[in-house]
């Protein structure tokens, strides 16, 4: 666990040092944070919920829809502005739009029910 944590920190440092801060943060948030969060939620949900197929299916469907929507938005916006600018705007507007429902679900449903 400690070794993976050090490797993760090294990868994040490399990404942030090579890219501008917003892109580095977006990549960290979308890949590292999301992966760890989904892994923890699914592991805990598997212990308490019996319909595992529903959990995994809905997770995959909503994740795929979000990624497809984000990619389509980046492509659409790239027609008028640079790819970098469309990427940053899409990621941060998407994060802002998803944060409130996500935190509501996690804090008011998940934590109260399973912790």
Q: Consecutive 10-residue runs of the chain (115 residues): their mean pLDDT? A: 80 85 79 79 73 80 89 92 88 82 73 60
- Tokens representing residue 67 in the block: 């990624």
The answer to whether residues 43 and 30 touch, using CB atoms and an 8 Å cutoff, is no
Task: Find the DSSP H helices in 1-115.
Answer: 2-18, 21-27, 34-48, 52-78, 83-104, 111-114
pTM (two decimals)? 0.58
CA distance 112 to 108: 6
Q: DSSP labels for 42-56? A: HHHHHHH-S-HHHHH
């Amino acid at each position: 666990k400690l070794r993976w944590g050090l490797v993760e920190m090294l990868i994040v440092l490399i990404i942030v040092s090579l890219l501008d801060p917003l892109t580095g943060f977006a990549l960290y948030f979308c890949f590292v944070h999301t992966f760890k969060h989904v892994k923890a939620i699914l592991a805990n949900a598997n212990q308490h919920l019996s319909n595992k197929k529903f959990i995994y299916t809905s997770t995959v469907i909503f994740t795929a829809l979000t990624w497809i929507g984000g990619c389509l938005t980046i492509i659409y916006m790239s027609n008028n502005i640079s790819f970098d600018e469309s990427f940053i705007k899409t990621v941060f507007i998407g994060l802002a739009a998803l944060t409130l429902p996500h935190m509501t679900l996690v804090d008011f449903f998940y934590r109260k029910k399973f912790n």
